[in-house]
Structure 1
Amino acid sequence: MRTALLLRGALLVRFLAGPLGALLARFFAAFLVVFFVGVRFVAMAPP
């Protein structure tokens, strides 16, 4: 059970290290920035 989990983690790390993983990480980071900026903007805007 533990070995399977470890193997799955290693596979995930290897997949995320690829070019698709880099693109996904960049997209996720951009989404987070836009999300936080949007929340800040909505919180600052008067009702």
Structure 2
Amino acid sequence: MEVEEMSLDGGKVRLRTAKGKALIWRDYKAVSFHQLGVAAFFQDNSA
């Protein structure tokens, strides 16, 4: 199977917390092979 298009993304995402609580930031990575599938990784540096 030949991959013709691929998109990569990564960065930080803020998780919602109760009002007045400290903000929570987490790292994420995502890849999309458009017609073939999508995968996302959360807090997994080996991905």
**TM-score surpassing 0.5?**
no
Name which structure has the greater RCO, CA cutoff 8 Å, separation 6+.
2
Higher strand proportion, which one? 2
- What TM-score comes out, normalization by structure 1 length? 0.22
Q: Looking at secondary structure, tell me which structure has more helix per residue.
A: 1
TM-score, scaled relative to structure 2: 0.22
